[in-house]
Amino acid sequence: MIRNELVDSFGRVHDYLRISVTDRCNLRCVYCMPAEGMEFEPDENILSFEEITEVVRVLAEMGVKKVRLTGGEPLVRKGIENLVRSLSAIPGIEDIALTTNGIFLARKAATLKEAGVNRVNISLDTLKADRFSLITRGGDVQRVLDSIAACQQVGIDPIKLNVVLMKGINDDEIDDFLRLTIDSSLQVRFIEYMPIGHNDMRWKQSYLPLSAVLERCEQMEWKVEESKNVRGNGPAQTFRIAGAKGSFGLIHPVSDHFCETCNRLRLTADGNIKPCLYWSDEFNVRKHIGNDEAVRELFFRALRIKPRNHEMAKALVGEGQSHVPTVRRMSQIGG
């Protein structure tokens, strides 16, 4: 008899799988990759669409309902819409989301929606063209803005903008991002800078707790109310400026981690299960694909060792940690 729930030792039920379809990216964001780029996995090490589909089919029988495609940049993977169609045809999969930097999204928005993408998260750390080019090391912000408009036009909803807030880099744009939510249904999500793959002074110097966002609302005399009805808000604490069409969320893994309600597992592009984004533990599932029982058992094994929390706050103050942090960069994990 198939055990149809993925439950860890702390009673957290996992119904959400984040899948990195590639470790490659067309940008080199300062918090994600070093300036010289990365040594990418050879094509033969990357899971095929058929392999990904097989893993998701098994997990759907175990209660997984939501899937998010990430990277690297998922839209650099040729034929990504074919994977979306395959996943959307799996019984039990109710929601397919995409996280993207938005550079290639405008031309693919209609096709992806038709294939089964329900919602998108678009990384956008600044609205200023020159600053965007600096943060991404060469990106064009107008292409991202065009992609937002294209998603609105084809009816993808919700559209979330992921903003990694960095002290001295983009924290002077908090007002500008909040204003985006007033006249449109966009959902802006401010994310704390995380020490994924690097625990150095650059991260600590750029880290800013998200209490700064609510403090700015108070300074602007905006009345803010907590919003409970935002679809797919995940780990975000969600708010709305009174009278606004959209909303904004705070994802603060360092200052106020959300581990107690974690319901997600991760599958890396090279076929490894990661029970926690921050820790180094990984289990290679690729060699088991085709053996449903072995795939199931490996996911249960991953859940058995999943810790209660990630302890990123300890990294901020230099305290010892109970597990070994990952050395993989965010682009290699599919955060």
- Domains in the chain: ranges and CATH: 6-333 (3.20.20.70)
Share of the chain above pLDDT 70, in %: 84
Q: Which position has the higher pLDDT, 183 or 281?
A: 183
pLDDT tens digits for range 118-176? 999 999 999 999 999 999 999 999 999 999 999 999 999 999 999 999 999 999 999 99
Looking from the CA of 333 toward its CB, the CA atoms found within 13 Å total 22
- Give the pLDDT score at 198: 53
Is 267 exposed, middle or buried (CB count within 10 Å of its CB: 0-12, 13-18, 19+)?
Answer: buried
Q: Which two tokens stand for residue 33?
A: 């990759």
pLDDT tens digits for range 55-102? 999 999 999 999 999 999 999 999 999 999 999 999 999 999 999 999
Measured distance CA(180)–CA(126) in Å, rounded: 12
- Give the pLDDT score at 289: 98
Q: Which two tokens stand for residue 93?
A: 């999969």
**pTM score of the predicted model:** 0.89
Q: Which has the closest alpha carbon to 28: 153, 137, 114?
A: 137
pLDDT tens digits for range 26-64? 999 888 887 887 789 999 999 999 999 999 999 999 999
Q: What residues does 268 pair with on adjacent strands?
A: none
Per-residue three-class SS string for 125-178? CCCCHHHHHHHHCCCCHHHHHHHHHHHHHHCCCCEEEEEEECCCCCHHHHHHHH
pLDDT at residue 312 is higher than 60: no
Q: Which has the closest alpha carbon to 80: 120, 41, 40?
A: 120
